[in-house]
């Protein structure tokens, strides 16, 4: 099935596009705020995410206590998800101390081929040659960003661009694990449940990590409105991002999320050039064009893979329901014979 532009006219797709752009702007806003804190010399990446996780736990935990739904997933699944998500956020935010915001935004695209690999390995999704070709082009663009930072040197916007690039790649890999798990849970569990436990365990993991790694850093910060406001912005933008992402994954799947990642990179470059009046190395443009091409190519047939992935998930659920129904029928038959 090829790319069908008529689908853009549908209400569901329009909602997905609008929601994707909101998520894109939230990602960009969060990236620039984290970069701003790094430029102020504030090295507290876990503290930024801690406030967001705490807000998720309070808001969605309150909703969950009111609704009192049945828990559909194991608690340790949410704990592992939160651990991976916290460390992914930590590595990416940490990277702002070493490399430019443009590199961070572009290298985030590394999560995309990782997601494809994870869905192929664990959800048994099959990918065609065009999809694989798009992934290869995307990886080429990622490699070009690294070479661009080496070429740009001190103009890349950080003290150690190559180190920052590899931190982003590691964080993006963890993002891929988190996003794949979150997509599966949001389609087979409960969104409020997911957000509640992600926030609860995320805040616990973050608090422990702050006590180990960032305690001295927080004591050294000279708190003022110029410092407090960026922390509050990060908290709000991350809370909105986590709240809207499950809706996008459930209604539109990975296609819209992929396009959102692409447009967030575009917003980052435009804001850096026109708002911050920063110079961007020429190789960035070529890297962005290459990455954008790869993302667009693999997104063209994403719908097929989403359908296959959903079929696998539904099959697993149907098998479990079938086994449960069989046990119930056997029990009912046994009871009938006993009464007879």
Mean predicted confidence (pLDDT) in 195-205: 95
| Domain residue ranges in the chain | 15-301
pLDDT confidence of residue 79: 95
39 vs 77, more confident:
77
Q: Would you give the DSSP letter of residue 279? A: -
> What is the Cα–Cα distance from 260 to 20, expressed in whole angstroms?
5
**Tens digits of residue pLDDT in 64-114:** 999 888 888 888 999 999 999 999 988 988 887 787 766 776 777 777 777
Decide if 99 contacts 149 (C-beta within 8 A): yes
Q: Would you say residue 33 has pLDDT above 80?
A: yes
Vertex 304 angle, CA 298 and 305, to 5°: 70
Mean predicted confidence (pLDDT) in 237-258: 79
Decide if 148 contacts 283 (C-beta within 8 A): yes
- Say if pTM beats, i.e. exceeds, 0.75: no
Provide the pLDDT confidence category of residue 59 given band limits of 50, 70 and 90: very high
Q: Check residue 124 and give left, alpha or beta (phi > 0: left; psi -120 to 50: alpha).
A: left
Mean predicted confidence (pLDDT) in 314-322: 53
318 vs 186, more confident:
186
Residue at token pair 């996008």: 248
Q: Would you give the DSSP letter of residue 280? A: -
């Amino acid at each position: 099935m090829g790319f069908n532009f008529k689908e853009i006219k549908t209400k569901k797709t329009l909602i997905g596009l609008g929601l994707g752009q909101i998520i894109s702007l939230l990602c960009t806003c969060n990236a620039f705020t984290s970069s701003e804190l790094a430029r102020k010399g504030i090295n507290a990446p876990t503290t930024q995410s801690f406030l967001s996780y705490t807000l998720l736990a309070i808001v969605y935990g309150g909703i969950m206590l009111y609704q009192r739904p049945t828990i559909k997933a194991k608690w340790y699944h949410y704990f592992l998800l939160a651990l991976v998500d916290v460390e992914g956020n930590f590595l990416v935010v940490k990277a702002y101390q070493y490399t430019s915001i443009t590199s961070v935004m572009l290298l985030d695209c590394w999560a995309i081929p990782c997601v494809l690999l994870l869905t192929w390995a664990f959800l048994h999704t099959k990918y065609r040659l065009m999809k694989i070709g798009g992934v290869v082009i995307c990886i080429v663009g990622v490699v070009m960003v690294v070479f661009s930072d080496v070429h740009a040197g001190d103009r890349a916007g950080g003290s150690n661009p190559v180190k920052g690039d590899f931190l982003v790649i590691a964080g993006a890999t963890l993002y891929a694990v988190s996003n794949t798990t979150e997509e599966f849970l949001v389609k087979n569990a409960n969104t409020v449940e997911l957000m509640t436990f992600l926030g609860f365990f995320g805040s616990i993991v973050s608090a422990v990590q702050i006590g180990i790694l960032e305690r001295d850093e927080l004591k050294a910060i000279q708190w003022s409105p110029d410092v407090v406001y960026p922390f509050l912005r990060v908290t709000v933008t991350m809370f909105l991002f986590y709240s809207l992402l499950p809706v996008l994954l459930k209604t539109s799947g990975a296609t819209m999320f992929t396009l959102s990642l692409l447009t967030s990179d575009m917003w980052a470059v435009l804001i850096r050039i026109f708002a911050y009046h920063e110079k961007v190395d020429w190789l960035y443009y070529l890297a962005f064009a290459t990455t954008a091409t790869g993302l667009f190519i693999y997104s063209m047939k994403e719908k097929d893979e989403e359908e296959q992935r959903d079929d696998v998930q539904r099959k697993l659920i149907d098998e479990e329901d079938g086994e449960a129904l069989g046990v119930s029928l056997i029990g009912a038959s046994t009871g009938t014979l006993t009464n007879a």
